Chains A and B, each alone.
Chain A
Amino acid sequence: MNCHEVEPWLSPYIDRELDLERSLEVEAHLAECERCSRAVRSLEEVSALAGAAPLYPASPALRERLGGRRTPASWQAAPWLVTAASLALAALAIWRFSPEPVRPAADLLERDIVQEHVRSLLADHLLDVRSSDRQKVKPWFNGKLDYAPEVADLSGQGFELTGGRLDYLGGRAVAALVYQRSQHVINVFVWPEAGQPDRAPAARSIEGFNVVSWRTKGMNWWAVSDLHSVELEELPLCPCFMAPNRTLHASVAASRPRNPS
């Protein structure tokens, strides 16, 4: 083989993908050709460089959403704990036959909210009133709740209102407003809680879904979605993510508990 003939085989040669015969031919040529030997070394170099490029492992939220369990970083430092936990899980599995995931004791309300979100998607009961017109969605709640939830039109900011429905959370009926952003459904739950101070927005991930919650003007707001947390936090309802020179969204500010009597 001459240099020209051997050239196409160098790349598969470094990958050890050549059959024995051809591999020996390449080796025989390399033994006497400094130029091709250098080409092999530089191929190996570029191969190693590409292999050292950043890897993008799945986020914990995605893993959890697809059924995997979270492995907190601290656990990785304590292999015995993982072993103990595995044994405990195995025992539980044998006992229960089909194991339930063991989760940290998350706040009951948080989990209820995520479950309501999932249920709204699975049971095809996303909307009681289907409209992108806030003037249609807002009056629909009249007489069904003891407060009037404010319904904002956020289509200008990339969040499309698709409607609303009645939901049941923490022992009371609440309004669920449904927004959509690039095929992702966002459930926004809102209900009054009198006498509580405002609470700055807090974002977290629960069971693989991203949740942002805050309290303002006596109203509790919870937004939940499988939308990437960065995009969910752009929801303009949420006071924390506004530019400092912008005022709170007018319709949010107008939310008031309504006296039922």
Chain B
Amino acid sequence: MYRGGLRLTERMRRARFEAAMLPHLDAAHNLARWLVAHPQDAEDAVQDAFLRALTYFDAFHGEDGRAWLLAIVRNSCYARLRKNRRRSEVMEPVDTLELAADGGASPEALHLRQADRQRVQRSLECLPAEYREALVLREMEGMSYKQIARITDVPMGTVMSRLARARRRLQEMLANDPQKEKV
């Protein structure tokens, strides 16, 4: 009887976990895939994150499950990237990077309508991880600055400036893409 009761409790906990977290699996995998690039690594990172989330599920009190889960996914992605010793590629201190002066990508110089999805994808892949994750969370997942701040563990002001810089950088990359001339 005792074992049965214990098992039932655990199963109910598991069921609550799945009901709360599985709806965000696609968002979790999308973020992981954009962060770690390699398909198997992305799946592994998501799986690690779900295990960790299940472990700490009792600390989750039902508020914004998506942001809660994505923060864990993000951590497990960076842990995986560090383990693969690719840290230098992804942990550039981007907020201090020099950007082109204002007007470097004047709106007139841009012909973004011609930019096809592949070019956008390639450019996104080349962005520093902090910019990429901000864009993925904002543009693909439609998250608020507050949610992004929570997930990426930075103040909202930093989210704002990162997104602005990320967009400017993306504009510049698309405008300067040499392949554009061929289109």
A→B interface (CB under 8 Å): 4, 7-8, 10-12, 15, 17, 35, 38-39, 41-43, 45-59, 62-63, 65-68, 98, 182-183, 226-228, 230-231
Contacts and interface: CB of A to CB of B under 8 A. Distances in A.
A35 B106 CA distance: 9
Closest 4 CB pairs of A and B: A11-B164, A56-B33, A58-B29, A51-B139
Grouping DSSP codes into helix (H, G, I), strand (E, B) and loop, the B interface class, with mixed when no group exceeds half, is: helix
Grouping DSSP codes into helix (H, G, I), strand (E, B) and loop, the A interface class, with mixed when no group exceeds half, is: helix
B171 A46 contact: yes
Contact of A52 (B15, B39, B117, B160): B117
Given A11-B163, A12-B164, A15-B145, A49 B29 contact: no
Contact of B22 (A4, A59, A67, A226): A67
Contacts of A48: 139
B46 A98 contact: no
Contacts of A51: 139-140
B112 A46 contact: yes
Size class of the contact patch on chain B: 35 or more
Contacts of B8: 98
B151 interface: no
Given A11-B164, A46-B171, A49-B115, A67 B14 contact: yes
B174 A49 contact: yes
Given A17-B145, A38-B107, A56-B34, A62 B29 contact: yes
Nearest to A58: B29
